[in-house]
Structure 1
Amino acid sequence: MKKSHPDNVVFSEEKGYNASVLPYATSVGAPVIKTDDVVAWKTRGIHNVNKEFENKFNELKQQYQKLMQEYEWNDIVYNAKFSFEPVIGEIYHLYTGDDGIHFLSLIGPQEWNKEHIATFKLNSDKKWMLLNQKDHFSSY
């Protein structure tokens, strides 16, 4: 079967010669249509997004670790022995007694010879805020 038009001419049986209405180049002399290299763009985008997710994850991980440390200290203080009602804003000291049980006191570590663990301040939310601790108790 012989064609009635050459290969480099846009022709459709339904629409005829319609090269001027097409959204792309249709002749040999038309500008070259290049597709964008989106692989490099995607790779950079994936790298940037993954870096952002990693940074956010590390930030949340640090916040979680800090929260868990606060929880553990509050658990230790609330389970310690004390025979007074702590006052908000006051500073208290946590010690280990001769029997190995933790107790809370108003007396500072320099005022007597007890094993001092940490110093706390009670805030308005009834949360014990760690002010300082002995180095070898950092595993709490």
Structure 2
Amino acid sequence: MSEKKEEFVNPIDPDKIAENPHNLPYAHTVSGVEIKPIDKGKVKGRAVKAMYKQSDMQLEQIRKQIELLAQQAKGIQDRISISEQIYNAQMNFEPLIGFVYHLYERRDGSEYVLSMVSPEEWGPNPPYRFVATVELLADHTWDVLRKASETDEDEV
């Protein structure tokens, strides 16, 4: 018996079939993903905006760090300045690390005096003008705990 092989006839119009559908720039089936062309201007614009925002955030962070370093440097300079005043002041005792002392200036401005007596302990007529309350640190600089305020100076 000889079987007659029937020739397959594709019912779809050959003009509507792609030989390589995976190479098409659009979906070739009904359920395929919609492919839209990219608006390169929008993409670049968003990327540039994001870049500027991120850069601004980083620059702001660096600015804050610089300000903090400047404050720390000023604090060290203030400690050096007050330490020089204290080491040039009259002291009738040996200051100990970790203890609190009080720096005064003679009324005539001739010299500074380091004392263990606080401004409150002098009473209403202190013999000196209060400058600062300080603590001796381990590196032999002085930490300023309290400075004379403008109102303290006006009262004198």
Q: TM-score scaled by structure 2?
A: 0.58
Task: State the match for 1:124 in structure 2.
Answer: 138
Give CA-to-partner distance per residue, 1:18-69, whole Å, 9 cap, x none. xx9xxxxx86658535543221222212222222122222222222222222
Deviation at 1:102, TM superposition (A): 1.0
- Partner-residue secondary structure (3-state), 1:84: coil
Would you say 1:58 and 2:64 are equivalent positions? no
- Aligned counterparts of 1:65 and 1:124: Cα–Cα separation in 2: 19
- Percent of aligned positions with the same letter in both sequences? 25
In structure 2, how many angstroms separate the alpha carbons of the residues matched to 1:98 and 1:55?
42
Equivalent in 68, 74, 83 of residue 83 of structure 2: 74
What is the one-letter code of the residue matched to 2:135? K
Q: Provide the C-alpha distance between the structure 2 equivalents of 1:56 and 1:134, rounded to a whole number of angstroms.
A: 29
Counterpart position of 2:127: 113
Task: Tell me the distance in 2 between the aligned counterparts of 1:73 and 1:127.
Answer: 8
Task: Kindly report structure 1 stretches of 4+ aligned residues shifted beyond 6 Å.
Answer: none
Please list the CA deviations of residues 74-119 of structure 1 after superposition, one character each: whole Å capped at 9, or x if unmatched: 2221222224321223322211124421121223333342212112
Q: Distance in 2 between matches of 1:50 and 1:98?
A: 49
Match of 2:4 in 1: none
**Bigger CA radius of gyration:** 2
From the superposition, tell whether residues 52 and 89 of structure 1 become closer, same or farther in structure 2 (CA, over 3 Å): closer
The question of whether the paired residues in 1 share the 8 Å contact of 2:107 and 2:127 is answered with no
Q: Secondary structure at the match of 2:130?
A: strand
> How many pairs were matched up?
115
Q: Which runs of 5+ in 1 are unaligned?
A: 1-19, 21-25
Q: CA RMSD in A?
A: 2.9
Partner of 1:134: 148
SS in 1 for 2:61: helix
TM-score of the pair, normalised by structure 1: 0.64
1:85 aligned partner: 94
Gaps of at least 5 residues in structure 2 are: 1-19, 28-34
Amino acid at match of 2:130: H
Aligned to 1:11: none
Contact in 1 for aligned 2:106/2:127 (Cα 8 Å) = no
Q: Residue type matched to 1:133 in 2? A: K
